[in-house]
Structure 1
Amino acid sequence: MARPGRPLKAGRVQRYTTVVLGAGGVGKSALVMRYGQNKFLDRYDPTIEEEYEVTVEYEGRRSVLNIIDTAGVEQFTGINENYIQRGVGFVLVFSLTQEASLRELDHIRQHIYRIKGGEQASSILASDGRNHRTDQGYNRTFPSYQAMQELAVKWGLPFYETSAKKGWHVSEVFNDLLSRMRKRYPNGTPQSKKRRRDQCHIM
């Protein structure tokens, strides 16, 4: 978000296509809704595909994120590959209570690298926000925070442990990704011609 009292820089607003990927039920939609509309989805409703246009004021600049909230990608299809072709930034989401969801992310990460190449896309690794059920914590089954940091270093990705329910570190995920996309693509990416399903603004 823009710092209070800091004027926005003049110039054309850049647009960036961001794709949220991960296995089904890991909290992708919860993270997107918390970031875009500051709401928490308490009930799991399987996503087919949703697109959101989010106007963000961050570091003194305004940008527009076209966020594609995808269905679970237990197996890759042509549709999944089309998402990757369209995107320049990726949020890779897994569940701290579903070990298989982290293994799935490794496949997704490799697909992104194969389709886009290492120099053409920015990615962020984020833990599940849906399973933070109570103030006392959640049923974490794996892995330790230190182990995740080590894996993130191995994969070359920044890692955030988030909670969509509490709002913890959700903005940091998307803002970090936005900074990386701005550096890699200072002129933004072409705006999708597909009709937007929803609109929201981050101030």
Structure 2
Amino acid sequence: MSKKPATQPALHKVIMVGSGGVGKSALTLQFMYDEFVEDYEPTKADSYRKKILLDGEEVQIDILDTAGQEDYAAIRDNYFRSGEGFLCIFSITEDESFQATQDFREQILRVKNDENIPFLLVGNKCDLEDKRKVSYQEASDRAKQWGVTYVETSAKTREHVDKVNSIVCRWYC
């Protein structure tokens, strides 16, 4: 009698995009390991995989933490092609990183050629309210214009990290 082969859990690829220094890696590490790394080296691109239970079924979330630096723009299209969902991160303390979200969104839409891909706009570093340069209203308005959800997080304090995770998980229900 042969045993039935174990089926692999469904695998879903989520791509983290945003300018350098906005906290993509810090958010990824909070999600994966519940930890905040203060002094993190700039990322080339790191991939993380985590099994989660979703509606009683085990699924795997593969998170690609991309490099924000322009040096890596050439390989970005390949990442975008492979992604099923996107977290577009900016720092609420840097207007330039917020403005860059428009370019990231346009690049993703160009590569994916699909307006209905799972996409979340994330304003990180909400623990630095006194240094805020991007208002909640401005970011929320952009998300509404795009037809996506906006969430503010702090990788440092873990504020709303679970909310982002639950939104990502709902993409694949």
Q: TM-score range by the shorter chain?
A: 0.7 to 0.9
Q: Which amino acid aligns with 2:65?
A: D
Q: Distance in 1 between matches of 2:165 and 2:114?
A: 19
Q: Quickly say closer, same or farther: Cα 1:178–1:73, change in 2 above 3 A.
A: farther
Aligned to 1:142: 134
Post-superposition offset of 1:114: 0.8
2:53 is the counterpart of 1:57: yes
Question: Which has a greater percent of helix?
Answer: 2
Q: Distance in 2 between matches of 1:87 and 1:138?
A: 35
2:114 is the counterpart of 1:123: no
Post-superposition offset of 1:163: 0.8
Post-superposition offset of 1:117: 2.1
Aligned to 2:99: 103
Task: Give the TM-score normalised by structure 2.
Answer: 0.87
Q: Which amino acid aligns with 2:58?
A: R
Q: Which amino acid aligns with 1:85?
A: R
Query: Which 4+ residue blocks in structure 1 deviate beyond 4 angstroms?
Result: none
1:1-203 matched pairs, under 5 angstroms: 13-74=9-70, 77-119=73-115, 121-129=117-125, 132=127, 137-143=129-135, 145-180=136-171, 182=172
Post-superposition offset of 1:120: 5.9
Q: Quickly say closer, same or farther: Cα 1:76–1:114, change in 2 above 3 A.
A: farther
Task: Give the TM-score normalised by structure 1.
Answer: 0.75
Q: Distance in 2 between matches of 1:114 and 1:65?
A: 24
Post-superposition offset of 1:179: 1.5
Post-superposition offset of 1:170: 0.9
- Give me the identity figure in percent: 31
RCO higher in 1 or 2 (8 Å CA, sep ≥ 6)? 1
Post-superposition offset of 1:82: 0.5
Post-superposition offset of 1:125: 0.7
Q: Distance in 2 between matches of 1:14 and 1:179?
A: 14
RMSD: 2.0
Which segments of 5 or more consecutive residues in structure 1 lack a partner in the other structure?
A: 1-10, 184-203
